[in-house]
Copies of this chain bind each other. A is one copy, B any other.
């Protein structure tokens, strides 16, 4: 978490630094990003950087959590809009995330974030100040899910289902970013997988496969 000094800065200066950092982190992955580039672009001395942040990671995870929070908010908003339908919500969110929004830099940042996702997963899962926030957001999401369309017998199962769906969603996002799939390719494939999740992949008794 950035130090208080950073938050005492005029908003404009904060913005300049954030902008420089985003630019650097969208240029290359975390482990290749250099503080030198950030301070050069933000035009602040090296010493100042360390007045504001512990290190490169501190700044990076601050930005990452901001974006994650935005997406969580968006998730919750979509979920409300779609009356709790998790599939419709995630399809929209998936589509939203792989779209460009006319900002190549933001997309690069997010792509690099996925590439770094496990770079220091302890850091993300760590019991830091974000943790409580994350937990309550998770509970909110779960509570908003409309279970009338889901074949779910208890809350435990709902957690499992959420986990499954998120795993598949993430994998598809990563693939879309890393393999540079077109939006259509990505969405079609994602959609088909979601249908399989709904239907189930185990053989039903009296049904025969065309293919086997």
Contacts and interface: CB of A to CB of B under 8 A. Distances in A.
Interface in A32-65: none
B167 A211 contact: no
Interface size classification for chain A: 35 or more
A121 interface: yes
Contact of A203 (B151, B167, B201): B151
A171 B150 CA distance: 22
Given A178-B125, A199-B200, A212 B163 contact: no
A150 B202 contact: yes
Interface of A: 29, 31, 114-122, 125, 147-158, 160-161, 163-168, 170-171, 174, 178-179, 189, 192-193, 196-204, 207, 209-212
Contacts of A121: 115, 174, 178
State the number of copies, please: 2
A198 B201 contact: yes
A210 B154 contact: yes
Contacts of A163: 168, 171, 193
Dominant SS among interface residues on chain A: helix
A49 to B, nearest CB: 20
Given A155-B211, A157-B211, 5 more contacts: A152-B211, A161-B201, A167-B167, A198-B200, A199-B200
Contact of A160 (B114, B122, B193): B193
B116 A147 contact: no
A110 to B, nearest CB: 13
A207 B151 contact: yes
A147 B193 contact: no
Contacts of A193: 160, 163-164
